[in-house]
Each structure stands twice: as structure tokens, then as C-alpha cells.
Amino acid sequence: MSVSLLREHSEQQFAEELHELAQADRRTRPPNWKLSPWAVSTFLLGGRLPNGFEVSPKYIGSQRVIEIAVATLATDRALLLLGVPGTAKTWVSEHLSAAISGDSTMIVQGTAGTSEEAIRYGWNYARLLAEGPSPQALVTSPVIRAMQDGKIARVEELTRIPSDVQDALITVLSEKAMPVPELNTEVQAIKGFNVIATANNRDKGVNELSSALKRRFNTVVLPTPATDKEEVEIVQRRVASLGRALELPAEPPALEEIRRVVQIFRELRGGVTADGKTKIKTPSGTLSPAEAISVVGQGLSLAAHFGDGVLRSQDIAAGLVGAVIKDPVQDRVVWLEYLETVVKERNGWKDLYRACREITE
Amino acid sequence: MTSSPAQNVQIFGIRHHGPGSARSLRKALEELQPDIVLVEGPPDAEAVLPLLAGEGMEPPVAILIYRPDQPGQAVYYPFATFSPEWQALNYALKSGIPARFMDLPQALSLAMEPVRPAGLPTGEQPVELPQEDAPEGELPEPGVLPGEDSEAEEGQTDETGLETEDKALPEAQSDPLEWLARAAGYSDGERWWEQMVEHRQDSGDLFQAILEAMTVLRSEIPPRPDPQGRESRREAYMRQTIRAAQRENFQKIAVVCGAWHAPALAKIGPAKEDAALLKDMPKVKVQATWIPWTYGRLSYFSGYGAGIESPGWYDHLWETRNDVAIRWLTKVARLLREEDIDVSSAHVIEGVRLSEALAALRDRPLPGLPELNEATLTVLCGGSDTPLRLIQQKLIVGERLGQVPGETPMVALQQNLAAEQKRLRLKPEAAQRTLDLDQRQTIDLERSYLLHRLNLLEIQWGVKERTTGQRGTFHEIWRIQWQPELAVRLIEASMWGTTVLEAATSKVRHQAAAATTLPELTRLVDQTLLAELPDAVDDLMLRVQNVAAVSSDVGHLMEALPPLANVLRYGNVRKAHSGPINAVVEGLLARIIVGLPGATGSLNDEAAREVDKNLVAVHNSVSLLQNEEYSRDWQRLLVRLAGQTNLHGLLAGRCCRLLMDAGAFDIEETARRMGLALSPGVEPPQAAAWVEGFLSGSGQVLLHDTRLWQVLDDWVSTLDGEIFQNLLPLLRRTFSAFTNSERRQMGEQAKQRGSGRVAVATGERDFDYRRARKVLPVVARLLGLPEPEVAEQKIPAGEN
């Protein structure tokens, strides 16, 4: 393992944790699983092992969600992780495969251009021409390799893949086999094989799964952070590292401003104010934590380059309005209503109200 | 089996409304074959106990105990089929052995409660809502004192402090099982008990184990503050009842009580202390009866007493002995299919597998409700939680409504109504009569409240007639007629409360919670304000606010505003309090102002007319409220609307007029805008609509200012003949709304200024000139022209 890697795979980065978990794990493991379901969820959620070893949490959030995901894989059903962008779908999928198979690299990246070969198999045309169809001329996909090794195959952004290509997965998921008619043979999956797919449930213009395919997945929706404390922490940590990377001269952002941004995001996303007393309309955008991070980041850079270096409401306002108003008509109404009925009344928010009103009018 | 110091007594500690303990209890009773069953419950209700096995009795039902002189003080004891108490009583009645209640009688219990100020008119009595507050005297969860509960409901200050403190603790005192559950690593007591007891199919030494656990628990937990000694008295009374049964020589006495009380009853001890404790307690007169209950109301009590979150699930556990998960998910699948959500058997199979895998992952022997819900969400609903809400409502809580036998005694609500009728001198008569209520008089006002409240309870004693003319402000005309079936409605309504006021209030709250659209709520607000239910208003306003916030229909928002504005302005007539209404009005107005420009673009005639109606109503409301900020914002909106390019002519004209009347546009500006709207580039129908909007209501403005007159006059004169004919009905409609004198003045003005232009060439057509001539004098007079002298010879010969 080289130290100069830009990014290590989960199984490389957490090799020690996986090893300790395997040592401590006394529970039954499903065939070909490196760890028991209990240990897999511990790997994701963190915890202390009997020997005092501390497993770091990989996913901060609902324990329930991870348990459902692990239980799904244990019942050999395929797992579909749904969520808005920035809810750690890929992250969870990578760590699940690393914990279960010790290998998170059997991956198919879904794009509009993903072809059936990427999911099934292709041909080495030089060999095909020289020798005719033979197993040696076959170029296997990560899915086939996972089937042969009894590991987890990952399909990223499943809904971006054209529908007809998606359906190539149906046989794999129901028959657990991949026919190769050219060679009059098939690849049968050995125990331990499964598929984790991720998809974005907010995008427009994606290819909805056919109901035949959908039926073969258990769907787990990854939620946005449950508490504002959690979310403030995530945003704060990311913004701090972001500021360092960009070498911004601005002061580190006041926690107060971050709290306000997170609160606005959470309120608009949830359709109800933080005190739970007033309902509000929800805009069409996703307003994920990732966007909150970018709003604060943008504000920081505005403050650094055009302001006095201190993050103020004016610096936040522009990014905020841009993040909320994605649809110029509907979202504008939502945003104005929110400003007028919520922000305006709130103690100590007058500056933000004025700054936002100036930009929105 | 349970052994206790007293040889002939068996203690069964149960959890109220627990299907598992009900099943175990029934089995244990069948094995024991007792000759008497003592159940924790109010002895006051023993007289109505035989009705339990009566024809037409169908749980869920509740025993209602109330003071006939203070119907507001009432206690409900709900039962479901899966309630262990119900099963015990049912067993006793079916096997023909005596069944007795052994708790402290409510006659004594209610007497310990502070007496509320008596003699207040109903309208000012504090309203209590069983479903909102504590379950007063609900068959208490082990350790919960009904007294404590009812005081919470009373809003007693001295006890409230304790209540909140107790809540801050993890309900340790009130729900001792919570502690056991925490010790066992469960997140809440209900799940723990469900896992340990309710899911068991064999009873075994269950009751012995419960007795031992509770004995330990009671010795560990510091005693709950019991200032009135209510708990000790309750247990003393229970012991006394057991002693009485022993004295009567019953050989096998089965005692069914909340688990918490089990240890206290196991050691009977000497009677002397108990007798001393119960001596000289004050007593009040109470009455008991059965009323129908619903699963929904069983669950209202969540977090308190015997409130259970999932009666429907418990019902399922009670009905189903094997394959609980499979049968549950099959039920879920059927429900989803009814709602047109595709669910196949394959889904159910995978759902069951997932729930079992989850249970295994969590080290549980069988999947419970959380596992089944998660499996439903993941497999059956594809991750979407909307169907889950339906499942929650229809299956987990359930919609079952109970029934009581016909011979059940009269309920408190009936008595309260009778008292009200007497107080307001309003006799129920089978004959129809008309009632004219002058609301300036207190008694008439209260009569009106009563009739409105009864209507809210769907007891239609009176029908309100539409009032006309000026009398409408203070007078209400009612047609009243008492029909026998209304008595049945009263019994049905008695589940909402024991007084008309209380019942109407809880019903409105319930309806408000169920209403999803603004028009529904607006209607409800209207009725509630008329019925003067101050305690329901707050809830209702909160609902209006919430629904308004997500409503995208500005029309609905606009309809909701005027009645509320009226209340705010004339609130003193009805004495309604205005605090929460103010907030709602402000929110509504802000939303209308933001949303209106978007909602008024490109409307057809019909839609424009609708918006116009609302626009005027809101405008009047805004003027009525006399709030400077509102008026300023509203005016700014009107200015914006008036300048909006795709606005329907009717609305543009209306805005212009409203602004002119409000002084925001002076005559010059108005004339300029009128000129713009009526300029040749504008489609004539659009211009005519503008004129209609501008002139609607009153034409005075035209008479006062010559510039406006001129603009209009010029426009009409330039209209092409055919177009004029097409527009004529529209213009006529506009002008016909003016008063006679206005029209006459206009005619004269037209004669003076525009003489010579009034005649419009109609071209050569086939006319019946003879008949046409007959109207000419009238037309001339209308227009203020001299009588026409029609030349005879102009009529071509042979016509006619």
C-alpha cells in the first residue's frame, strides 16, 4: 500500500479496524462474508470492541438505516440506496462492500453512456477474430467478477443508466446467473454475491427503474441529517477544511452564521420551522448539507475578497438566495413567504432579512 | 402457579391493554377455575357490569363515571377485546361466577378532587378534553394514580410542578416497567413488555415472575410522592375487597390488577390499618354507564396511563396466534392494494424475510412492530414513507368503533343538555317552531351558542335560517324541532365529552386535526366562532396556519381571510378572544400578498370573476382591520397588480378603482391608466372588462370627473359597430348596477357632451320598423333626448 495514494479504498484505509473486528467477531457469518452482520453494522456505526479497540464511526446518523441495509444484504436481496445528493450513499455502499467482501472495487459507474458490456461482458476483439468465441476472448464486467468470487458488486447512479441496460441486471438478481449465449454457457454466482446500487431520488430526467427491476431491490432511503447539531457539525468541519484548501484569508466562520444557514436549510427542507410551530412551503431544490457547505464557503470567499474578512449576513445572502431559488417562479414565492412569515419575525435576524430582501426583490 | 401468603388468593399482575397478558390471564383463569374474580376498576360501575355480556356490546367501549351535579368531572375506563380486565370480566360473566371491581370507588376518589367553581355558565367553564390531557382515571398503568392524572387535567398548580418533574425523569415513577426495560437494554417499556410478555404464547410461570420482579422494583424505587395518600388508599381498598371476599368464604379468589399493585396485594396483613385509612372519606354521588369508544381514542392517551400507541397491532396480536409477521404483512399488502399500490405476494415474502433478518440482527426472537414497519418501508413501499402513514392510521391504530347495548343508562351529556335546556328555557318539542334570537341579549346569545354547538355535534335540533336585511347583524332565525333519533346521536356524541361545550370543543379539535384543505377549515372556523368554543379556537388557528402555509391556492387563502378579519374587528360582539387569530390573519395576508401576482396571470373570464370577488373581500377586510402596515403592503400589491401586463381587464380595472378610492392614484394618474387600458391597441373585450372592473359598484366617479368621462366616451365612440354590439351586454351589465339617479345623470351628461354621437349606424337591415318605433320614446327618455319624430314615410311599404 503506497503512502502517495491520493485516496485509499475503505478496505485499505480501515484495514486495521476490519482485522480487529474479524478477530473479535464470534457470531455466525453468512457464507463468504468476511464479517457477521452485527460486525458489519458496528464497522459502519462505530463502537468499542470487547478488547477495548475503538472502531470509528463511518456513517453518522440513524442506526436503523444501517441495520436495514445489512439485514437486506444478509437475506441475499439486492440493496438500493436512495437519497438526495450529499447523503453519503456512495460512502455507505463502499464501506458495506469493504466490510462484507473485503473488497469495494467491483464497481460499475452508471452514466447515460453506460453500455450493456459494462454490466455483462465484452469481447477482446483481437482474440475473438483470431480464435473465435472462447472464454479467453471474453472481457468480464465487475459484476461477473463479483459473481465468480462471491463478493459485492456496486452499481453507482443506477438511474442514470439507460433503462434497457438497467434491465440486464434482472437476470443477475433473480437467477443469480449471467448467461453467455455466444459460448452456450453461463456464469453462476457463488454464495456471498450481491449488488448494492445507489441512485438519486431528486434528479429529473433520469431513467426510472422498471417495476421488474425495482421489485428485486430493497430500497433504503438515506435521510438528511436528523438533528441540527449533527448537521452544523458536518458543515462546520467541511467548511473549515475547505477554507484551508483555498487558503482564504478570512476569519474562520462564526458558528452563529453557520447555524443560521443550517437552520434555514433544515426549515425549508423540512417544511416546518425549527420550533415546530409554523409550517412553510418547500422549494424545489434539494438543499442538502453539501449545498449548505457551499453557501458558507462562498460567503467566506466573498467576505475575504470583497468584505472585511468577517463573514456577515450580506455575504451569506447571495449564496443563500441562489441555493434556494432554483425555479425562478415557484421557488421565489416560497422564499418570499419564508422571509416574510419566518425570518422577518425572528429576533436578531433583521440583518439577514434585509440582506435577503435586497437581493430577492 | 402463583403462590401467595393467603392460600385462597391468586394475584395476576397484568399490563393494561396488553394482548399477551390478556391471553395468559384467560388461560390461567381457565386452569384455576376461580369462584370469584376481583378486577382493578371502579366499584361504582358494578351496577352496569352485567351489560358487558349483553346483546350488542362490542368493544372498544368505556365505562364512564361522572358526577351528575358536575358532569365535567368524569372518568373514563376504556376496554378493548385484548384488555386483560375485559377478558377477566368476560370469563367471570360467561362462567356465571361473581365479578367485582376492587379499586377505590370514584365516589370517594372524585370527592378528593378540588371542587371547581360551581354555577358558572357553561360558556365560561374550563373545558377539559380527555383525549388531549391525561386520561382521567383511565385504568391506570401500574403506578399511575388516577388522582394524579385528573389533577393534571385540572391544571392544578400545586401538582403541575410534580408532573413536569416526573416527565423529566424517564417516566420512572409512573411506568416502573420502563426501568426494567432500560435495565434490559430496550429503548422503551412498551417494546420490552411486548417482547418479554405479549409475544409469549405460553404463560408458564409468568405471573409469578411478574410478582417477583415488581416486588424487587417496589423495594428499589423510592416511593412516589403521594400527598393525598391516594395510592395507599387505593391499595387499602383493594385489600379490603379481597378480605371481604375471603369472609364470604370464596375458596379460589382471582385478583387481576396492574402489575405494580401485585406485591401490595400479595401480602394482605391486618385489616385494621386499611380500615383506618379508609375511614371517614368524603363521598360524592356518581353515576356510571357504558359508552362506545374507538381505537383512535385508545391511542390518544399515548405517553400516559394506559395509552397505547398501536391498538390495531395489539388487536392483531390478540387475534393471531401463529405467523404474526406473515399475517400482518399480508394485511398491509391488502391495504396497499386497495389504495392502488402494487404489492405482490413476492413482496410479502421478501418483507417477512427482511423483518426476520432484522430481528436476528437485533437479537430478538421474533420480529416486532418496528421490524415489520421497516420491512414494509423497505420492501413494500420502495422506501417511500407516505403509504406508511396510511398503515399507521388504518392498521396500527385501527379505526374500530365500539357499540353498547340499547339498555345502557343515560349518559352525562344527555343530562347536561337537559340542564342546559332548562337553564335557557328552551324545551325540546316534537313540533317545529321558529325562534328569533336577538344576540344582544345574553340568554338569546347563549341559546344560539347551544344550538350551534349541537349542530357541530351533528345533533340537528335547530336549522339556522338565512337572515336578510339589516336584521342579520344581531338576529338569528332558527327553526327548531326535537326528533327522537337525536337521543341516539347524543349517546354517540357522548364519547366526545360529558358536557355540550366540552364535547363540541373536542369534536372541533378532532375535525380540525383531520381537515386537510383550507375551505374545510374556513367552514369549521365559521361554525366554531358562532358556537363560541374559545378552547377550540387556538387549535383551529394553528391548523389554519399550518394548512395555509402549504396551500398553493391563493383563492382559498383569500376566502379564509374575511371571516377572521370580521372576528378581529367585531370580536367584541361575540366576545371571542383574538390573540391567535391575529397571528393567523397576519400570516394569511402575507401569503396572499406574495402569492397573488403569480395567481392572477392569464385568467379566463370566469376565473377572473372569482378572483375579483375575493380581491374585493380581502380589500374590505384590510380596510376593516385598520392596520397601517397591512394597508401599506396591500396597497403596494395593488399597484403592482395594476401594472401587471397579463392581468385580466376586470382585475386591472378593479385595482385601479380601489387605488383611486384609497387615494393612492389621483385623478390624473387614474385617467392616464384608463386611457392606457382603453387605447386602440387593447382588445375591445379586454377594455370592456376593464371598464366593468373599474365601474363596478358605483358610477359616481364618472360624473365627478370630466376627464374620466371623456376617456370612456371617446373609447365608446370609436368602437366599430359590430364590436359595439358584441360588447353591449357587458357594458349594459356594468351600467345596470348603478342607481337610477346615477344613470339619469349620466344620460344627461351624455346628451350635453356627446349629442350627435349617440346614434350608431346600424346599416341597412330588415327591420320591423313599426315595432322598432314603439321603443324609441323610451330609449329617448332614457338617454334624455327629445322625443323622436319618426317620419312615417320612411317605412317602406309592404313591410310588416
Question: Which of A37, A68, A337 is facing B378, going by the closest CB pair?
Answer: A68
Q: Do A82 and B383 touch (CB under 8 A)?
A: yes
Q: Do A64 and B342 touch (CB under 8 A)?
A: no
Q: Lowest-pLDDT range, A67-81, A232-246, B456-470, B721-735?
A: A232-246
Distance CA B76, CA A347 (A): 44
pLDDT-derived band at B189, boundaries 50, 70, 90: low
Same domain as A131, residue A38: yes
Which stretch, B31-35, B302-306, B432-436, B716-720, has highest mean pLDDT?
B31-35
The verdict on A220 touching B (C-beta cutoff 8 Å) is yes
What torsion do the CA atoms of B669, B671, B676, B682 make, to the nearest 10 degrees? 150
Residues of A in contact with B594 (CB under 8 A): 333, 336-337, 340
Same domain as A160, residue A85: yes
Interval A270-279: pLDDT, tens: 888 877 767 7
Q: What does residue B628 show for φ and ψ, rounded to 5 degrees?
A: -60, -45
Instruction: Tell whether A27 is covered by a domain.
Output: yes
Residues of A in contact with B546 (CB under 8 A): 278-279
CA distance A296 to chain B (A): 28
3-state SS string for B278-328: HCCCCCCCCEEEEEECEHHHHHHCCCCCCCCCCHHHHHHHHHCCCCHHHHH
pLDDT-derived band at B722, boundaries 50, 70, 90: confident
Beta carbons within 10 angstroms of residue B754's beta carbon: 15
Q: Do A221 and B384 touch (CB under 8 A)?
A: yes
Peptide bond into B60 cis (omega under 30): yes
Query: Which cell goes with A302?
Result: 466573498
Residues of A in contact with B547 (CB under 8 A): 279
Distance CA B588, CA A293 (A): 33
**Residue of A215, A325, A339, A345 best to disrupt the B interface, most CBs of B under 10 A:** A215
**Residue of B584, B594, B596 best to disrupt the A interface, most CBs of A under 10 A:** B594
Q: What does residue A139 show for φ and ψ, rounded to 5 degrees?
A: -105, 110
Interval A292-339: pLDDT, tens: 888 888 888 777 777 777 788 888 888 888 888 888 888 888 888 888
List all residues of chain A from 233 to 272 with a beta carbon under 8 Å from chain B: 271
Interval B525-534: pLDDT, tens: 888 888 888 7
- Reference A242, options A197, A298, A281; nearest CA is A298
Question: Which of A70, A82, A340 is facing B361, going by the closest CB pair?
Answer: A70
**Residue of A70, A72, A80, A334 best to disrupt the B interface, most CBs of B under 10 A:** A72
Pairing of β B475-480 and β B433-438 = antiparallel
Instruction: Tell whether A4 is covered by a domain.
Output: no
Q: Lowest-pLDDT range, A43-52, A64-73, A291-300, B765-774?
A: B765-774
Percent of chain A, pLDDT > 90?
32
Distance CA B443, CA B424 (A): 6
Question: Which of B347, B545, B591 is facing A337, going by the closest CB pair?
Answer: B591
Same domain as A239, residue A159: no
pLDDT-derived band at A127, boundaries 50, 70, 90: very high
Instruction: Tell whether A212 is covered by a domain.
Output: yes
Contact B86, B99 (CB under 8 A): no
**Please, where are the H alpha helices in chain A?**
10-13, 15-24, 37-45, 63-74, 89-101, 116-119, 125-131, 142-149, 163-166, 168-175, 211-214, 228-246, 255-270, 289-305, 313-324, 330-338, 350-360
DSSP labels, A198-257:
EEESS-SS--PPPHHHHTTEEEEEPPSPSSHHHHHHHHHHHHHHHHHHHT--SPPPPHHH
> What is residue B146's predicted lDDT score, i.e. its pLDDT?
34
Containing structural domain, residue A167: 10-221
> What is residue B595's predicted lDDT score, i.e. its pLDDT?
83
- Reference A60, options A225, A199, A269, A266; nearest CA is A225
Same domain as A233, residue A180: no
Same domain as A286, residue A192: no
DSSP labels, B172-188:
TTT-HHHHHHHHTT-S-
ipTM entry? 0.73
Write out the residues of chain B at the interface with chain A, using a CB-CB cutoff of 8 A. Answer: 342, 344, 346-347, 350, 353-354, 357-358, 360-362, 374, 378-379, 382-385, 542, 545-547, 549-550, 552, 587, 590-591, 593-595, 598
The verdict on A13 touching B (C-beta cutoff 8 Å) is no
Q: Do B546 and A279 touch (CB under 8 A)?
A: yes
SS3 (DSSP) at A45: helix
CA distance A221 to chain B (A): 6
- Reference A140, options A118, A110, A162, A173; nearest CA is A118
Instruction: Tell whether A3 is covered by a domain.
Output: no
> What is residue B578's predicted lDDT score, i.e. its pLDDT?
63
Interval B467-504: pLDDT, tens: 665 555 677 888 888 776 676 677 778 778 888 888 88
Distance CA B380, CA B345 (A): 10
Question: Which of A215, A333, A340 is facing B346, going by the closest CB pair?
Answer: A215
Q: Lowest-pLDDT range, A237-251, B538-552, B616-630?
A: A237-251
Interval B31-55: pLDDT, tens: 888 999 999 888 888 888 888 888 8
Query: Would you kindly state where each structural domain of chain B is located, as residue ranges?
Result: 9-114+127-300, 320-397, 412-501, 764-800
Same domain as A158, residue A15: yes
Number of domains chain A is built from? 2
**Where does a domain end: A194, A221, A248?**
A221
DSSP state for residue A135 in the 8-state scheme: G
B68 against B116, higher pLDDT:
B68
List the beta bridge partners of residue B67: B70
State yes or no: pLDDT of B793 exceeds 70.
Answer: no
Question: Which of A37, A220, A279 is facing B383, going by the closest CB pair?
Answer: A220
Distance CA B166, CA A186 (A): 66
B403 against B764, higher pLDDT:
B403
Residues of A in contact with B342 (CB under 8 A): 211
Interval B610-637: pLDDT, tens: 888 888 888 888 888 888 888 888 888 8
Q: Do A67 and B362 touch (CB under 8 A)?
A: yes
State yes or no: pLDDT of A139 exceeds 90.
Answer: yes
Q: Which amino acid is at A164?
A: D
Interval B500-521: pLDDT, tens: 888 888 888 888 888 888 888 8
Same domain as A334, residue A249: yes
Q: Do A221 and B361 touch (CB under 8 A)?
A: no
State yes or no: pLDDT of A126 exceeds 90.
Answer: yes
> What is residue A321's predicted lDDT score, i.e. its pLDDT?
85
Residue reference for cell 479496524: A17
Distance CA B384, CA B391 (A): 12
Q: Do A218 and B354 touch (CB under 8 A)?
A: yes
Distance CA B253, CA B38 (A): 7
**Residue of B341, B344, B361, B550 best to disrupt the A interface, most CBs of A under 10 A:** B361
Interval A85-102: pLDDT, tens: 777 788 899 999 999 999
Q: Do B590 and A340 touch (CB under 8 A)?
A: yes
CA distance A194 to chain B (A): 15
Q: Do B374 and A68 touch (CB under 8 A)?
A: yes
Residues of B in contact with A340 (CB under 8 A): 590, 593-594
Same domain as A213, residue A91: yes
CA B627 to chain centroid: 31
Burial class (CB in 10 A: 0-12, 13-18, 19+), B552: middle
Question: Which of A64, A329, A341 is facing B374, going by the closest CB pair?
Answer: A64
The verdict on A328 touching B (C-beta cutoff 8 Å) is no
Q: Do A72 and B384 touch (CB under 8 A)?
A: no
Which stretch, A5-14, A74-83, B8-17, has highest mean pLDDT?
A74-83
Q: Which amino acid is at B298?
A: L
Question: Which of B344, B378, B546 is facing A72, going by the closest CB pair?
Answer: B378
State yes or no: pLDDT of B20 exceeds 70.
Answer: yes
State yes or no: pLDDT of A240 exceeds 60.
Answer: yes
Straight-line distance from the first to the last Cα atom of chain A, in angstroms, rounded to the nearest whole number: 56
pLDDT-derived band at B300, boundaries 50, 70, 90: low
Instruction: Tell whether A40 is covered by a domain.
Output: yes
Contacts with B354 (C-beta within 8 Å, 6 or more apart), sequence order: A68, A71, A72, A75, A77, A218, B374, B375, B378, B379
Pairing of β A177-180 and β A152-156 = unpaired
Question: Which of A64, A72, A271 is facing B550, going by the closest CB pair?
Answer: A271
Distance CA B734, CA B691 (A): 8
Same domain as A257, residue A324: yes
Integer CA distances (angstroms), A185 to A118, A126, B231, in order: 19, 21, 78
> What is residue B6's predicted lDDT score, i.e. its pLDDT?
54
Residues of B in contact with A218 (CB under 8 A): 350, 354, 378-379
Query: Which cell goes with A160?
Result: 442514470
**Residue of A341, A344, A345, A360 best to disrupt the B interface, most CBs of B under 10 A:** A341
- Reference B344, options B289, B382, B395, B401; nearest CA is B382
Question: Which of A77, A80, A337 is facing B594, going by the closest CB pair?
Answer: A337
**Pairs of residues, one from chain A and one from chain B, whose beta carbons lie less than 8 Å apart:** 86
> What is residue B159's predicted lDDT score, i.e. its pLDDT?
31
CA distance B82 to chain A (A): 30
**Where does a domain end: A221, A236, A271?**
A221
Interval A173-190: pLDDT, tens: 989 999 999 899 999 999
Same domain as A283, residue A146: no
Question: Which of B383, B546, B587 is facing A219, going by the closest CB pair?
Answer: B383
DSSP state for residue A340 in the 8-state scheme: I
Interval B330-382: pLDDT, tens: 999 999 998 888 888 889 999 999 999 998 888 877 788 888 999 999 988 88
List all residues of chain A from 45 to 74 with a beta carbon under 8 Å from chain B: 64, 67-68, 70-72, 74
A149 against B651, higher pLDDT:
A149
Distance CA A188, CA A104 (A): 21
Which stretch, B267-281, B404-418, B750-764, has highest mean pLDDT?
B267-281
**Where does a domain end: A221, A237, A258?**
A221
- Reference B332, options B294, B276, B375; nearest CA is B375
| Mean pLDDT (chain B, rounded) | 76
Same domain as A123, residue A246: no
Contacts with B183 (C-beta within 8 Å, 6 or more apart), sequence order: none
Residues of B in contact with A215 (CB under 8 A): 344, 346-347
**Please, where are the H alpha helices in B600-663?**
605-625, 628-642, 649-661
Q: Do A337 and B590 touch (CB under 8 A)?
A: yes
State yes or no: pLDDT of A123 exceeds 60.
Answer: yes
> What is residue B471's predicted lDDT score, i.e. its pLDDT?
53
Instruction: Tell whether A280 is covered by a domain.
Output: yes
pLDDT-derived band at B572, boundaries 50, 70, 90: very low
pLDDT-derived band at B72, boundaries 50, 70, 90: low
Question: Which of A41, A75, A340 is facing B354, going by the closest CB pair?
Answer: A75
Rounded mean pLDDT, B208-224: 79
Beta carbons within 10 angstroms of residue B86's beta carbon: 20
Contacts with A256 (C-beta within 8 Å, 6 or more apart), sequence order: none
Integer CA distances (angstroms), A340 to A281, A336, B143, B588, B634, in order: 12, 6, 49, 11, 14
Distance CA B594, CA B554 (A): 9
DSSP state for residue B647 in the 8-state scheme: B
Question: Which of B357, B362, B549 is facing A281, going by the closest CB pair?
Answer: B549
Cβ density class B718-749: b for 16+ within 10 Å, e for less: ebeeeebeebeebbeebbeebeeebeebbbeb
Instruction: Tell whether A298 is covered by a domain.
Output: yes
Question: Which of B361, B383, B591 is facing A71, going by the closest CB pair?
Answer: B361
Q: Is B60 left (phi over 0), alpha (psi -120 to 50) or beta?
A: beta
Q: Do B357 and A72 touch (CB under 8 A)?
A: yes
pLDDT-derived band at B224, boundaries 50, 70, 90: low
Query: Which cell goes with B768?
Result: 320591423
List the beta bridge partners of residue B480: B433, B462
The verdict on A170 touching B (C-beta cutoff 8 Å) is no
> What is residue B127's predicted lDDT score, i.e. its pLDDT?
31
- Reference B301, options B162, B144, B187; nearest CA is B144
Residues of B in contact with A220 (CB under 8 A): 378, 383
Same domain as A193, residue A79: yes
Distance CA B593, CA B603 (A): 18
Give the chain B residue whose CA is nearest to the CA of A83.
B383
Contacts with B309 (C-beta within 8 Å, 6 or more apart), sequence order: B190, B299, B302, B396, B397
Distance CA A302, CA A324 (A): 18
Pairing of β B99-101 and β B36-39 = parallel
Rounded mean pLDDT, A54-72: 86
Contacts with B662 (C-beta within 8 Å, 6 or more apart), sequence order: B635
Distance CA B330, CA B348 (A): 7
Instruction: Tell whether A2 is covered by a domain.
Output: no
